[in-house]
Amino acid sequence: MDYFSIGLNIFCLIAQGILHVYFCASLTGKKQKAYHFVIYIFIFCILDWIASKFSFPWIMVMGIELLILYGVNRFILCNRPSASWVAAILANYISQFSFGLINSVEAVIFPHVTTPLLLYAMITAATAVSLAISIACYTSVVKSISPEEIGHMTNMGCLLFPVLFFFTAELYIMQTSYTQIYYDVLSPVLLLEHTALLFLQALGLGALLCTLYAYRHLCRSLQTKAEMQSLSQAAQAQKIYIAEAQTRYEQTKAFRHDIKNHLSVLSALLNNNKFEECKAYLQKLKTVSTMLSFPCQTGNSVVDILLGEKLKMAKADGIAAEVSLLLPNPCGIDDFDLCVIFANALDNAISACQSIEGVRSIRISGERQGDFYMLAFENTCSDNPLPPTGTGLSNIKAVTEKYHGVMLTEKIERRFSLNVLLNISIHPESISIQKP
């Protein structure tokens, strides 16, 4: 082996090592560090030296390389096992198919090259083109699949098994067809064979992209289905809140209607010096009054019921809650939409508080600003970066846009705030947009 071949081999090992680690880290949403590349490239080079020294079968080398890249994903980048396998297989799959495409072209062209200098130049160009194809494919895959999708354990097999099939087919092609590509004379039969192999290599990359496209749409379809199910459950819960609020209102109305009769009974007991009976009757009235009262008085019975239930859950978890809220009457916001805002905002706040230790608190406030009403939800949270917008915030945003308002979120250290600005001058019956 001449110095050119040694240098080119070292360059390819380093370039592939960098691309493999960068691709795996980007695909799984991990931050890459310098020592990640150094560790993998070092092991990669050692493997190549051992394989050439002891003449390991090529497929065995590929299998060991796959295991090494899995180890880097699993234990250095700290990915889940399924995501580690998929990232490792995709990285090796793309690099092998990229070099396979160029090998097919080399098998056709190189037998006709007689000048060593021209041969070296063409080999260098072929290597550069292979790396460029790899980079293009890596970029396409990273754009096609998000880290959340690659980490979705339920559907990982949908992507893993087709990719394994294509990868195995590529290994077989490389092992059986490219052990020797330099012929003195290329016969028409060999020319046809390598042309067919070139087509198969391109078809393999196309199959990969189609598989990733189908997988992406499957994940998004399942996500949409889950969001619709969650929204349906939320809507059902909100209907219950509304029904309970109406029932509570009717009970309160009836109690107030009968208050004169209750006062007459108390007056008669006092006039007859029946103090014990009077105390017992007052205790019953107090009990009934407590049952009908709300822990929060916002001016909207539906919101009062919902706040009572959510704050009860927060208190059970040791979460302090403060409410400073008075909704205008008439509010101009449909009860269903108010439930969407408060239920999702409080569920998110309680969940964030439950995930941390120490002081945990929630604060809810509201303020009218002309034709608009500002709702503010604040809660303690962890130091971790905010996750992508979930179903809860998406539902709140949909209601906000329905009322020509805006939704703002902000995280400062261990404090998260959600501000919702709504146009209360718009009456619910005048809004034609469907409810979220």
Position 425: which residue type? S
Question: What pLDDT is attached to residue 177?
Answer: 58
19-51 residue pLDDT tens: 999 999 998 888 888 999 999 999 988 988 888
Mean pLDDT over the full length of the chain: 80
How large a percentage of the chain has pLDDT more than 70? 80
DSSP string, 63-106: HHHHHHHHHIIIIIS---HHHHHHHHHHHHHHHHHHHHHHHHHH
Which range scores top for mean pLDDT: 73-77, 215-219, 265-269, 289-293? 73-77
Distances (CA, A) of 77 to 30, 35, 138, 160, 427: 7, 11, 18, 19, 53
Is a pLDDT exceeding 70 seen at residue 220?
Answer: yes
Is a pLDDT exceeding 60 seen at residue 185?
Answer: no
Position 179: which residue type? T
Looking at per-residue pLDDT, the higher value among 133 and 388 belongs to 133
Distances (CA, A) of 298 to 304, 305, 312, 328, 436: 6, 10, 16, 9, 24
Q: Going from the N-terminus, what domains does the chain have, and what CATH number goes with each?
A: 3-229 (no CATH), 296-436 (3.30.565.10)
Q: Whats the size of the chain, residue-wise? A: 436
Distances (CA, A) of 361 to 44, 117, 246: 51, 74, 30
